Amino acid sequence: MFSRRQVLKTVSSGFGYVAMAGLCAEQTRAGFSSPLLPKRPHFEPKAKRVIFMCMRGAPGQTDTFDYKPRDRKVISSNITPKSKGKYSGKGPAGSVVPFSQYGKSGLWIADSMPNLGQHADDLCLVNSMHTDLPNHPQSYLMLHTGDFRFARPSVGAWTLYGLGTENQNLPGFISINAETRVGGAQNYGSAFLPAIYQGTPIGHVGAEMSEAGIRNVNCKHLPANLQRRQIDLVQETNRELLEASQVDTQLEGVIESLELGFRMQTSVSEVLDVSRESESTLERYNVGKTKAVGRCRDDDFGRQCLMARRLAEAGVRYIEVCHSNWDQHGNHVKEITANGQAIDKPIAALIQDLKDRDMLKDTLIVWGGEFGRTPLSNENGGSNHNNKGFSFFLCGGGVQGGLRYGSTNDTGAVAIENKVHTHDLHATMLHLLGLDHEKLTYRYAGRDFRLTDVYGHVVHDIIA
């Protein structure tokens, strides 16, 4: 085995660089080592990667995954402590859209999502979520960073910090269709963790997904072969400098990262180019479907799911997609039904594709929003914010399928059994990734910080 410096001295062609980078990726010797290289988790992980499907706006649990028939006598004051005035309604509250049972497990799922229903036996419905506040901005940040008062690293950044990433040619943490409100970039930021752990955005809410990409990965001003020669020229100078400097790990890092950057131009464009998929695949993911609800086009969410699959296949560690139209203060029934229809096929297609590739077993899909909604008693009404009880679903990545965990009260408003706080969700996600949320710490300002602060319990009951 020869040392990297020897390699640097002898290699001069573009081909050689690639070979050298291969060597570097497995480096174990002292000297420069990328902090993004895969790291050993605390214990054997069940999941290797996460696809977080963020439903911004707070999905109504009783009209998606928490079936509450309204044929009971419930007084309006039971709906939720926060629900008053025009939202309170009269009479029994609960689900205002039809539900059906799916799979061997017989999980109840709203009729707007029949395709997702086909995967019921792989879903773990958590019906007992709760969080601190019923306000979007705080709870959205809470969901993404575990805190809403101070700038803290996002879940994805903690994950990269703990595990590194498998494909050094792609960013390890990607946030597709990122929010611009409610915390904006802080939701995928690294705060006090080194900046390399922050998420890379692709597009933002309101932008066309078909045109969204990662900044600066496309070289348009030079022919590709000329750019290669340009980089060769640079690297030759860099190597001379390294030789003159004798030992300089930082400089070695620059040489390596430049090659990586060069390669990322190709790898990123390839992985994000969904046009390479077959017609039938595109159709399964709703790509090209022009229907829209609110500012969300079906085509946009479909593309996100398809990109998520391609990124997961390519070894990206943490991927977030976002559907941002779940704040049904008015027009509740129509919109929540349309939302269900919009996400149904793409998510089902994603789960199916992961199954086909035998990747569902180690890909953790997490679906949910910043909180839930007040259940309606009147289908013509609108629903309000509710942090006391809402639903998430998890799928793959070592969670039990066909399981309904925890429950809300009669109306579906308040989690009462096996409650799961946002902090508990975070602790569980890290646990599935092989990380102990109490040990994944970072020293900043003289103290050890962690994602779950002083809270969080792993929900062992949902782990397969």
Partner 1 sequence: MRVSRLALTVWILSPWCVSWAADDPAAIEFFENRIRPVLVEHCYKCHAADADKVRGKLLLDTREATRAGGETGPAVVPGKPEKSLLLSAIKHEDLEMPPDRRLPKEVVADFEKWIRAGAADPREGPAAADVVHQEIDIEAGRKFWAFQPVVHPSVPNVRDKSWPRDEIDAFVLARLEDAGLQPVAAADTETLLRRLCFDLTGLPPTVEQRARFERATAANVTSAVVDLVDELLDSPAFGERWGRHWLDVARYGESNGNSRNATFPYAWRYRDYVIQAFNRDTPYDEFIQQQIAGDLLPAPSVDERNRNLIATGFLALGSKPVIRGGNGKGFIPDVAADQIEVTMRGILGMTVFCARCHDHKFDPIPTTDYYALAGIFASSQTLYGGSRGNMGGAPATGFHVLASRDAGEVKAYEDWKKRLANLQKRQREVGREVKKLRPRKKGAAPKNPQKYDQLLAEQKEIAKELKKLQQDRVEPPGQAMGIAEGDKVTEVPVYVRGEKASGPPIPRHFLTVAYEGEMPSLPPDSSGRLELAQWLTSPSNPLAARVIVNRIWSHLFGEGLVRTVDNFGVNGDRPTHPELLDYLAAEFVANDWSMKRFIKRLVLTRTYQLSSAHQDKNYEADPDNLLLWRHPRWRLEAEAIRDAILTASGQLDLTPPQGSVVESRGEVLIQDKLTPDTFHQPSNHRSVYLPILRNGLPEMLEVFDLGDPSLVVGKRDTTTVPSQDLYLMNSPFVIEQAQHFARLLQAEAKDDGSRIELAYLRALGRQPTDPERQRAASFLAMSREALEKNTADTDQRLTDAWASLCQALFVSAEFRYLR
Stretch that binds partner 1, among 12-20, 88-96, 210-218, 337-345 (CB under 8 A): 210-218
One symbol per residue from 115 to 134: x for binding partner 1 (CB under 8 A), - otherwise; what is it?
------------------x-
Shortest distance (Å) from residue 247 CB to partner 1: 5
**Contact set for partner 1, span 10-49 (CB under 8 A):** 32, 36
Q: Which of 40, 84, 229, 291 binds partner 1 (CB under 8 A)?
A: 229
Q: Which position among 2, 85, 90, 237 is part of the footprint of partner 1 (CB under 8 A)?
A: 237
Least distance between partner 1 and beta carbon 381 (Å): 23
User: Distance between CA 156 and CA 194 in Å, rounded?
Assistant: 13
Give least dist CB 84 to partner 1, A.
14
| C-alpha to C-alpha distance for 298 and 302, rounded to whole angstroms | 6
Q: CB-wise, 101 or 230, nearer to partner 1?
A: 230
Torsion of CA 400, 158, 318, 63, to 10 degrees: 50
- The residue range among 119-127, 157-165, 376-384, 438-446 that interacts with partner 1, by the rule CB under 8 A, is 438-446
- Pick the binder of partner 1 from 22, 69, 91, 206 (CB under 8 A): 206
Residues 153-192 that bind partner 1 (CB under 8 A): 171, 180-186, 189-192
Q: Residue 239 or 332: which CB sits closer to partner 1?
A: 239
Please report whether residue 208 would count as binding partner 1 according to CB under 8 A. no
Measuring CA to CA, how many Å separate 269 from each of 90, 209, 215, 247, 392? 54, 14, 11, 35, 32
Could you give the CA distance from residue 161 to residue 438 in angstroms, rounded to a whole number? 14
- Given a contact cutoff of 8 angstroms between Cβ atoms, the answer to whether 79 and 89 are in contact is yes
Total of residues contacting partner 1 (CB under 8 A): 75
Which one of 221, 275, 279, 358 is in contact with partner 1 (CB under 8 A)?
221
Query: Would you state the structure tokens that stand for residue 309, as one six-digit string?
Result: 């699959």
Minimum Å distance from CB 367 to partner 1? 22
Asked if 216 touches partner 1 (CB under 8 A), the answer is yes
Q: Which stretch binds partner 1 (CB under 8 A): 101-109, 115-123, 229-237, 284-292?
A: 229-237
Kindly state whether residue 90 participates in binding partner 1, applying the rule CB under 8 A.
Answer: no
315: exposed, middle or buried (Cβ count in 10 Å: 0-12, 13-18, 19+): middle
Q: Residues 6 or more apart from 135 whose CB is under 8 A from it?
A: 385
Q: CA–CA separation, 141 vs 143, rounded Å?
A: 5
Question: Taking a C-beta distance cutoff of 8 angstroms, is the pair 373, 387 a contact?
Answer: no
Nearest Cα to Cα of residue 397 among 44, 46, 41, 42: 46
Pick out residues in 262-301 that bind partner 1 (CB under 8 A): 262, 264-265
Asked if residue 196 binds partner 1 (CB under 8 A), the reply is yes
- How near is the Cβ of 211 to partner 1 at its closest, in Å? 15
Which is nearer to partner 1, 284 or 317 (by Cβ)?
Answer: 317
The pairing of strands 318-323 and 49-55 is parallel
Tokens of 446: 């003289």
Q: Which of residues 330-349 bind partner 1 (CB under 8 A)?
A: none
Query: 234 — phi, psi (to 5°)?
Result: -65, -45
Q: At what angle do helices 136-145 and 422-432 cross, to 10 degrees?
A: 20
Closer residue to partner 1 in complex, CB, 90/447: 447
